[in-house]
Structure 1
Amino acid sequence: MNKKRAVHSFPLSRIATGTLMFAMLSGSAAAADAFSYDSPYMFGDWGGSRTQLADNGIKFDVNYTMESAANFSGGAHSSTTMRYSDQFAFGANFDLQKLLNWQDAEFQMTITNRDGQNLSDQLGDRRAGTLSSVQEVYGRGQTWRLTQFWLRKGLFDDVVDVKAGRVTVGEDFDNLNDGNLFQNLAFGGGQAGNWRGDRWYNWPISQWGGRIKLNLTPEVFFQVGFYNQNPANYDRGDGFRLDTTNSVGNLVPVELGWTPTFGPENLPGNYRIGYYYSSTNGSDYGSWRNGAYQNEAHAYGGYVLLQQQLTAQGGDAKRGLGIRVQAVMNDHKTSKTDNYQSLAFTWRGPFDARPDDEIGIGAARIHVNSAYTTALRQQNAYNGETDYNSPTYLPIQSGSEYDYEVYYNAALTKWLAIRPNLQYITAPGAVSQVKDAFVGGISANIAF
């Protein structure tokens, strides 16, 4: 865990540092359209240079996300506390068709930096933790990383699409068709990776790999991926490590997707069903005997993502009510969480005067594998532990943790959004002795 910082000064110093860095890079932050409401970027169009570069095939994106959360009541440590975490993402996209006349090809590079602390560490029993996180931008190593470094190429009039390099699994598989504004981890895309993070590496962890996508029709696709699994990619300070010395196996996901539009207003949908297999060995939770796990097994699982815009507002399909349903199922041998479900509704542009604002509400259930629960009980019995308050007692994680969130996203400008939210966590970590927690949060996104 990072050393504690003064909460009131940390966010400002991080934002100021990032702003200064990008201002130095852009060299045109004083252009007339900088800080304009209608500009999609804080620093504007660099006097037209940004648009010209994009027209020529080069696009730069620098984004900052911050998420803070305070414990109003409950949790393992009920005193009111606040934690702050954030992420910078520095990206560059090169349209190789415009630059090199290489038909339907692009190259993407993104460097990220995460920092801060996680309130969930205070909400759950520190010996067990929570299952989800009230700050989704936290985690997977608070450090600098090479998150994307890949080449994509369309073939045969885009019937085949190939992508390879340093990639994250969730950017292609189990992926939402729009941005995620929920602050709780249980409501974003790539949920299969959130509950099998030891096998499926989501953003910002990258690994060598890629995928082949077949566009069977304009609306139906099938894709298969192949990703190297190297636990060293998680390590702090190894964000730019490119070797495969510590590889332990490979992940192979397959997915069938359907992206239809419905009705005269062309309401978009995103429907995906997938399966994954990992050749990496892991402990078989049903084999705990005589002080250790006796067997190992490979991991596998599946997922479903159903996302649909239900209404349009003022004839605009980007506004209105949308729904998303997600589910994950993992094997009972090697997975701590064997199933997950969530339901969420979003309403974009609820007011004509605020067409870019959004309201969201969601509920999620994360269930602990009964074999894992039994293994915890067996280990406590083997160690002679019966007192929950003993430092070496293993809290029994059984049943489910439930996560709820409601937020309002206020688009203050085209480049700045502020998002207050309320969250409620039932049985944090699925430990019955931990009180339900009520959390208040606020997040912000800035596009420089």
Structure 2
Amino acid sequence: MAINCRTSLKTCLTFISFSFAFLVSPALAGAAPFDPDSPWLLGDWGGYRKHLADEGVKFQIDYNMESAANLAGGYRSSTTMRYADQWVFGSTIDLEKLLNWKGAEFQATLNNRSGKDLTPYINDPRAGGLSNLQGISARGDYLRLTQFWINQKLFNNWLEVKLGRLTTNEDFATSGVGMFENWAMGGGQPGHWRNDRWYDGPISQWGGRFKLNLPQHVYFQVGVYNQNRANFQKANGFRFDMGHGLGNLIPVELGWQPRLGQDKLLGNYRLGMYYSSVKGGDYHSWKDGAYHHQRHAYGGYLMAEQQLFAMKGDNTRGLSVSFQYVMNDHRTAKLDNYQSLALVWKGPFDSRPGDEIGIGMARIHVNNDYNKMRRDQNAANDVSSYDDPSYLPLQQGSEWNYELYYNVKATRWLNLRPSLQVVTKPGAVRQVNDALIGGLSADISF
């Protein structure tokens, strides 16, 4: 079954709006909306929200926005500002509390993205960018079903089985450090640099994840995700049809999430690899304007995140470090390796314990074999000048991304986050000037 949300988008939004109004009407009548000490802008719905949570039903209603302006440099040097946002409507149901179904949990989430992305304006359009300055603008601007799954814990929680419509990065290569606007920092990095095989959220796909929870905070998990490019199409935001799949992505991950020392400093260590049964062009076989061989894809990743110290014994405050590395195969991947390093300080000031400072850098490297193919294409087209409109710019070496932000915890339900980004050699095209980007993000929980 497939619901065509192109024709029913208005109906979908109307249903959500009426449902939302019904749920929050008690808050407008009896609770305290806009209370800075409440986790939600609309309060506790007159006590109903807490009552429902006690019964096992929790709601997520969030709004996120990211704006960015080109202050200097880039392919188009004029100051240009773009704004992107998303709404997230979700519900988590503890089936053990609600139905006495031991160890079971259900999650349903809708996501709607809209707006414009600044990234194309700082990159040569003939080559495109590598990073994304406003990560929230990726994966298309339309309403879609992002999560629709059930997770079952078995054998005294040693085994977890999750089945349904899943997003890969909710379980694999998941980061807990930083609130960066540029998606070159943060979680889900394998999907950013292999996004023709590994589909991060809000794209969902049919799949399953099987996780073993081992002693000493160690776990091992494997996933199987059906790869269907129809999930990218605007008309398929609510696609349930399992037909026309191209193959499967199989990620495997070994993780360790300790709490170290007297202050129980949180660590997040993940070592993973993936295999995709979907075939794509082999750069080594490019000749006479075509690929002569198709190959499966594979790669691996490493994540190491650790809180280094706590502030006055409070482990909700303190300095954390994050390092990530991704490797993709040379035959089919345009981007063959990536590294990032970030430092995040939560609660840097006693007077502002909820604020956060983050600084990060990332390197994105272009596969030399991809570059060789571009040279061959230019030679076949008999063009050699960068200024020729038909020339394919060479993406050589690496693009570097840097970001500094300060997150203001204005209330428990509102975050405001100004930032500065620097992108050196955008798109890894040496003819494009480095860019300086100013940004402002906000997160609101309703």
Q: 400, 412, 415: which one pairs with 2:413? A: 415
Residue 323 of structure 1 aligns with an amino acid whose one-letter code is V
State the secondary structure of the residue aligned to 2:238: coil
CA contact (8 A) 1:306 1:324 kept: yes
Percentage of matched positions with identical amino acids? 57
Residue 207 of structure 2 aligns with an amino acid whose one-letter code is G
- Structure 1 residue 295 displacement after superposition: 1.0
Could you tell me which residue of structure 2 aligns to residue 234 of structure 1? Answer: 232
State the secondary structure of the residue aligned to 1:365: strand
Q: Can you list the C-alpha shifts for 1:187-246, whole angstroms capped at 9, x where unaligned? A: 110101110111111010000001100012140000000000001101122111111222
Distance 1:67 1:114 in 2: 11
CA contact (8 A) 2:31 2:47 kept: no
Where do residues 204-215 of structure 1 align in structure 2 (5 Å cutoff)?
204-215=202-213
Could you tell me which residue of structure 2 aligns to residue 47 of structure 1? Answer: 46
Residue 177 of structure 1 aligns with an amino acid whose one-letter code is G
- Structure 1 residue 389 displacement after superposition: 2.0
CA contact (8 A) 2:205 2:226 kept: yes
Q: 306, 311, 321: which one pairs with 2:309? A: 311
Residue 356 of structure 2 aligns with an amino acid whose one-letter code is E
CA contact (8 A) 1:187 1:362 kept: yes
- Structure 1 residue 28 displacement after superposition: 2.3
Bigger mean CA offset, 421-430 vs 380-389:
380-389
- Structure 1 residue 33 displacement after superposition: 2.1
- Structure 1 residue 24 displacement after superposition: 4.9
CA contact (8 A) 2:415 2:443 kept: yes
- Structure 1 residue 381 displacement after superposition: 0.4
CA contact (8 A) 1:144 1:237 kept: no
Over 3 Å counting, the alpha-carbon distance change for 1:20 and 1:319 in structure 2 is farther
- Unpaired runs of 5+ residues, structure 2, are 1-15
State the secondary structure of the residue aligned to 2:234: coil
Q: Runs in 1 of length 4+ with deviation above 6 angstroms?
A: 18-21
Alignment of 1:27 with 2:25, yes or no, is yes
- Structure 1 residue 21 displacement after superposition: 7.6
Q: Can you list the C-alpha shifts for 1:357-412, whole angstroms capped at 9, x where unaligned? A: 00000000000000000000001101111121222211111100000000000010
- Structure 1 residue 25 displacement after superposition: 3.9
Q: Can you list the C-alpha shifts for 1:40-64, whole angstroms capped at 9, x where unaligned? A: 0000001110000000000011001
Could you tell me which residue of structure 2 aligns to residue 70 of structure 1? Answer: 69
Could you tell me which residue of structure 1 aligns to residue 422 of structure 2? Answer: 424
Distance 1:218 1:209 in 2: 28
Residue 77 of structure 1 aligns with an amino acid whose one-letter code is R
Distance 1:135 1:419 in 2: 13
Q: Taking structure 1 as the reference length, what is the TM-score of the superposition?
A: 0.94
Alignment of 1:365 with 2:352, yes or no, is no
Q: 332, 335, 341: which one pairs with 1:334? A: 332
State the secondary structure of the residue aligned to 2:239: coil
Over 3 Å counting, the alpha-carbon distance change for 1:172 and 1:394 in structure 2 is same
Could you tell me which residue of structure 2 aligns to residue 58 of structure 1? Answer: 57
Could you tell me which residue of structure 2 aligns to residue 389 of structure 1? Answer: 387
Where do residues 194-233 of structure 1 align in structure 2 (5 Å cutoff)?
194-233=192-231
RMSD between aligned residues: 1.4
Could you tell me which residue of structure 1 aligns to residue 8 of structure 2? Answer: none
Residue 371 of structure 2 aligns with an amino acid whose one-letter code is T
CA contact (8 A) 1:23 1:29 kept: no
Distance 1:204 1:158 in 2: 28
Alignment of 1:102 with 2:101, yes or no, is yes
Could you tell me which residue of structure 1 aligns to residue 439 of structure 2? Answer: 441
CA contact (8 A) 2:23 2:45 kept: no
State the secondary structure of the residue aligned to 1:41: coil
Q: Can you list the C-alpha shifts for 1:269-294, whole angstroms capped at 9, x where unaligned? A: 00000000000000111211011111
Residue 371 of structure 1 aligns with an amino acid whose one-letter code is D
Could you tell me which residue of structure 2 aligns to residue 14 of structure 1? Answer: none
Distance 1:302 1:114 in 2: 29
Q: Taking structure 2 as the reference length, what is the TM-score of the superposition?
A: 0.95
Could you tell me which residue of structure 2 aligns to residue 6 of structure 1? Answer: none
Could you tell me which residue of structure 2 aligns to residue 169 of structure 1? Answer: 168
Distance 2:423 2:242 in 1: 39
Residue 57 of structure 1 aligns with an amino acid whose one-letter code is G
- Unpaired runs of 5+ residues, structure 1, are 1-17
Could you tell me which residue of structure 1 aligns to residue 146 of structure 2? Answer: 147
Residue 176 of structure 2 aligns with an amino acid whose one-letter code is N
